[in-house]
Each structure stands twice: as C-alpha cells, then as structure tokens.
Amino acid sequence: MMGLSNIHSGLDQLGIAIKESIYANTSCIIDCEPIQSFESIGLDRFLMPARNDLWVKGYYNNILKKLQEYDVEYNSNLMETLLEYIKSEGDIQLTSKKCFLHSNTIRYRLGKIKEILNIEQNADFYPRMYVFIRLYQIYNNL
C-alpha cells in the first residue's frame, strides 16, 4: 500500500509531505486500497491531523465508552454491528448479510445505538456514526 503526498517545494515543506504520505497510507490500509493520494482521502484530510485534539478525543471516547459498556453488560455486539453498517455504507441488507443476521436484528441494534447515544434525528445518525467509526479506524491504524 502506498500513500502519496501533494507536491511540495523546499525542504521546509518536507515534514508536511511526510505527514500527508502517512495519512494517505493509513487511508489505504483502512480502505484496502493499493494507492491513494492525500488529495483523494476526503474527511481523513482533517480527521487524521485532528485526531489528538481534546474535543475530537472527547467526542470519540464518549461514544466508544457508552457502546462498549452496553456490549459488556448485555453481551451484545453493537460496536461490531455499527462498524459493519458503516463499512456497508448504511445498507441494512448488506450489513445483515455480512453479519449473518436478520435485517430486523440490524435495525434493532441501530435503534439501540440511537437510544444509548440519545440521537433522535435519523438524518443526524449516519454522519455522526461515520465520523466516529472513521476515528475508530484511524486510532487503530495510525
């Protein structure tokens, strides 16, 4: 896997070029892509550099803690389901096939996640969970 930085001129830009390459390479790993440029990694362009920000870590840790506590207390797999749901781009049928579960089970688990996280707006759910899962993947690969 190979991550490519933008073109930079001058040695004073070398550190930026290296970070861009590392971020693009991390996106390659997460997305199972052989090659990506920094220009093409979308939200990762700011999620990776911001991953250590106090507010970003707080957002991530708050959600992770709630889901992990529920999974431990009820011996469930909400995190696993959510990860597969985001990997399946929000497609419940595809998620159910990948998890070997009925689609109603996936819907129930997603509803439980919304309840645990107090997310009332359906339109707000997917983008918030996408960012969370992307941060989860970044923290586990960078």
131: pLDDT strictly greater than 90: yes
Residue 7: DSSP 8-state: P
CB contact at 8 A, 99 and 84? yes
Long-range contacts of 121-129 (CB under 8 A, 24+ apart): 126/90, 129/82, 129/85, 129/86
**Is the predicted pLDDT of residue 121 greater than 90, yes or no?**
no
DSSP element (H, E) containing 120: none
Residue-level pLDDT at 122: 82
| Average pLDDT, integer, range 115-123 | 91
Average pLDDT taken over every residue of the chain: 96
CATH number given to 51-141: 1.10.10
Tens-digit pLDDT profile for residues 10-65: 999 999 999 999 999 999 999 999 999 999 999 999 999 999 999 999 999 999 99
Domain boundaries in the chain?
A: 2-49, 51-141
| pTM beyond cutoff 0.85 | yes
